[in-house]
Structure 1
Amino acid sequence: MAIHPQDRLSGDADPFKGDPNFMASLARGLEVIQAFTPQRRLLSISQISQKTGIPRAAVRRCLYTLGKLGFVYAEDGKNYQLRPRILSLGHAYLASTPLARAAQPVLKQLSEMLNESCSIATLDGDDILYIARASSSRIMTIDLDIGSRLPAWSTSMGRVLLSYLPEEQLNALLGRITMIRYTPQTVDSVAKLREELKRVRQQGYALNDQELEMGLRSIAVPLMNPQGGVEAALNVGVHAGQVSAEELRTRVLPELQNAARELALLLD
């Protein structure tokens, strides 16, 4: 059972309460680590407690332990941030995943050919997780890199991945997400999102036209394994003022699909 950010590991809301094999202290430590984001690099004990629902005393112990192990530090003694050693936690996954290891040359070639930023992401809970990226320029106000996360429902890669989920799993996800109106063009209801996901599945790609951020367009396709399942998604992001939605379909989509077929060979 995966832990979603909205789940709390304290009190009656603990989904694992009563499981003798479940290590609550380890789970809390991981929740504390995941509280840090590109937008909130510095967090106090109180802020982490409020964000995770973990009592302040438990957060303090988690941070003390993580600090002793070299994963976090607080220069002023109050506001904590992650240390570079935290990257070692994700290195094992990236190093053991053929797609993440071998995709970079293909992404780099695609990025140079199109002169645009390209990424690969997988579905992790309700988010997409970036596992490979080649950037020609920064096109979002936040800086995306390997390990970055974004809400799946509001991104082109996320919608590709969601469109292939079994109905029961998709229903559960759509039942718990909070839809934020990021821009005037953001899909603003679950019903509309369902219709969009059906369209994505039928046409084989997702086009996000300034729904996550004004000025950003992106188009994504699935990376299929030999069994017909979707392992990840591949996308290209562009400046909306420079590349139209029609150009994304006519010029970028064929190259994206070619790259997806090449990368799919890694999934044998």
Structure 2
Amino acid sequence: MTRHSSPDAASEDHSFVAGSSNDPFKGDPNFMTSLARGLEVIQAFTPQRRLMSISQISQKTGIPRAAVRRCLYTLTKLGFVYAQDGKNFELRPRILTLGHPYLASTPLAKATQPVLKHISQMLNESCSIATLDGDDILYIARASSSRIMSIDLDIGSRLPAFATSMGRVLIAHLPPEALNNYLKRVSLVRYTQHTIASVSSLKEELKKVRAQGYAINDQELEIGLRSIAVPLLAADGSVSAALNVGVQAGLVPIAELTERILPVLRDGAQELSLLLS
């Protein structure tokens, strides 16, 4: 698949296209190219791009139109996608059966909801936990406040790691070699005028995040949205998940993120980190 090229391309960055010349599995008799392509087609849909045509999916994934058409035909017959107008496809609720059992059964997803709910109620803000999946973050637990946020997020949602507070916490704590590889391949998209758009600036920001122990995102992914995130530490000191609180920029000044919200987040992170021990 192609790298992120627009704000609605918040999906995992794949290094190959199934069946192409650079497919590392080409020639492997046990590798099912048709299955791989079907999964690529499913992952082409995002919260920002819910409706997609065959040509749009083909362009995004690099899979030939004819193969995309066959994948969508099969997925439609199985009840995973449909096209009301016959041209623009969208995922059906049945797609949740593919990932929800995993997300719902992970120790964090099962055990963190009481803590997340408590944090959300204390602050009257939405609170989430995410892990790093490829170059994206994957939401695995969430507690929403009564305030309405413009961005629609839920368990299973994905966002580009570099432009999110949780993503920066997770990237900043990668081993040196993995971090260097990430910085070499990442494609930075300027989602707003506040988005960090150079690798050198991102590298400096990640150093700051690692040193201070938290990350702040001030309207870099979407105007009007701010967030602050802290790492969840395992017993060995490694970081496999991050905890954040998202706020409306018009209601919560940026200074309030560190003065009021950060202490609550750190207390919650300390409690949640026990689950990783």
TM-score normalised per structure 2? 0.91
Say whether 1:139 aligns with 2:135: no
1: CA distance between counterparts of 2:78 and 2:249?
44
The one-character-per-residue Cα deviations of 1:117-161 (angstroms, maximum 9, x if unpaired) are: 111111000000111111212333x31111111110111000000
User: Secondary structure of 2:192's match?
Assistant: coil
User: Secondary structure of 1:131's match?
Assistant: strand
Residue equivalent to 1:247: 256
Residue equivalent to 1:85: 94
Residue equivalent to 1:55: 64
What amino acid is the match of 2:72? Answer: L
What amino acid is the match of 1:78? Answer: K
Deviation at 1:256, TM superposition (A): 0.2
The one-character-per-residue Cα deviations of 1:231-261 (angstroms, maximum 9, x if unpaired) are: 2000011122222222111111010011111
CA RMSD for the aligned pairs?
A: 1.5
Residue equivalent to 1:214: 223
Tell me which of 26, 41, 48 is aligned to 1:39: 48
Whether the aligned pair in 2 keeps the contact of 1:71 and 1:83 (CA below 8 Å) is yes
Residue equivalent to 2:20: 11
Residue equivalent to 1:204: 213
Whether the aligned pair in 2 keeps the contact of 1:45 and 1:56 (CA below 8 Å) is yes
Whether the aligned pair in 1 keeps the contact of 2:131 and 2:140 (CA below 8 Å) is yes
Residue equivalent to 2:81: 72
What amino acid is the match of 2:67? Answer: A
Percentage of identical aligned residues:
72
Deviation at 1:174, TM superposition (A): 1.7
Deviation at 1:79, TM superposition (A): 2.0
Say whether 1:122 aligns with 2:106: no
Whether the aligned pair in 1 keeps the contact of 2:103 and 2:156 (CA below 8 Å) is no
User: Secondary structure of 1:251's match?
Assistant: helix
What amino acid is the match of 2:133? Answer: D
Deviation at 1:6, TM superposition (A): 5.4
2: CA distance between counterparts of 1:180 and 1:12?
27
Residue equivalent to 1:97: 106
Residue equivalent to 1:30: 39
Whether the aligned pair in 2 keeps the contact of 1:10 and 1:55 (CA below 8 Å) is no
Unaligned stretches of 5+ residues in structure 1: none
User: Secondary structure of 2:229's match?
Assistant: strand
Residue equivalent to 1:174: 183
Residue equivalent to 2:269: 260
Whether the aligned pair in 2 keeps the contact of 1:100 and 1:131 (CA below 8 Å) is yes
Say whether 1:233 aligns with 2:242: yes
Deviation at 1:188, TM superposition (A): 2.1
What amino acid is the match of 2:222? Answer: E
Unaligned stretches of 5+ residues in structure 2: 1-11
What amino acid is the match of 2:96? Answer: L
The one-character-per-residue Cα deviations of 1:87-111 (angstroms, maximum 9, x if unpaired) are: 0111221132010112112111111
User: Secondary structure of 1:13's match?
Assistant: coil
User: Secondary structure of 1:65's match?
Assistant: helix
1: CA distance between counterparts of 2:104 and 2:82?
26
Say whether 1:187 aligns with 2:196: yes
What amino acid is the match of 2:149? Answer: I
Residue equivalent to 1:164: 173
User: Secondary structure of 1:122's match?
Assistant: strand
